Amino acid sequence: MLLTFETIRAKDVENYIGRDNVLIIDLRESNEYNKAHIPTAINIPYIDYENREITLPLDQLLILYCDRGNLSLLLARELSNEGYQVKNIYGGIRAYRGQLER
């Protein structure tokens, strides 16, 4: 199956912060998210996806990141196959050098 998601550089996420129809999702555990996260990101731990506890909007661009980019890559592949518009941040939050929210 053709991959229908894009992997973007961590610095490129700044082009999406605060935009309408964009949902930036931090897949790390809540305690990690609460320490620091990319501005406007919401926290939905990866385990919640595995347990199928989450429903996401199909009409928004989803930008996913985790710690290093591994879990977000897996989930981006899965969600894109389900018809979501998805981008994955290469290298996760560790690659992000911008201002973080706490």
CATH assignment at residue 72: 3.40.250.10
| Confidence (pLDDT) at 24 | 98
Q: DSSP assignment of the chain, as one string?
A: -----EEE-GGGGGGTTT-TTEEEEE-S-HHHHHH-B-TT-EE--HHHHHTT-----TTSEEEEE-SSSHHHHHHHHHHHHTT-EEEEETTGGGG--S--B-
45 catalytic per annotation: no
Domain count for the chain: 1
- Does 53 reside within a domain? yes
Q: Residue 66: inside a domain, yes or no?
A: yes
Report if residue 1 sits inside a domain.
Answer: no
pLDDT value of residue 50: 78
pLDDT tens digits, one per residue of 61-92:
999 999 999 999 999 999 999 999 999 999 99
Instruction: Examine residue 102 and state whether it is found in any structural domain, yes or no.
Output: no
Q: β-strands 6-8, 85-89: how paired?
A: parallel
Residues in Cβ contact with 12 at an 8 Å cutoff, skipping those fewer than 6 apart? none
Tell me, yes or no, whether 21 lies in a domain.
Answer: yes
Q: Which of 24, 62, 63, 66 is catalytic?
A: 66
Q: What is the residue range of 28's domain?
A: 6-95
Examine residue 101 and state whether it is found in any structural domain, yes or no: no
Residue 22 placed within a domain: yes
Whether 30 is in a domain gets the answer: yes
Do residues 26 and 92 touch, judged by C-beta distance below 8 A? no
pLDDT tens across 22-68, in order? Answer: 999 999 999 999 999 999 999 999 998 877 777 899 999 999 999 99
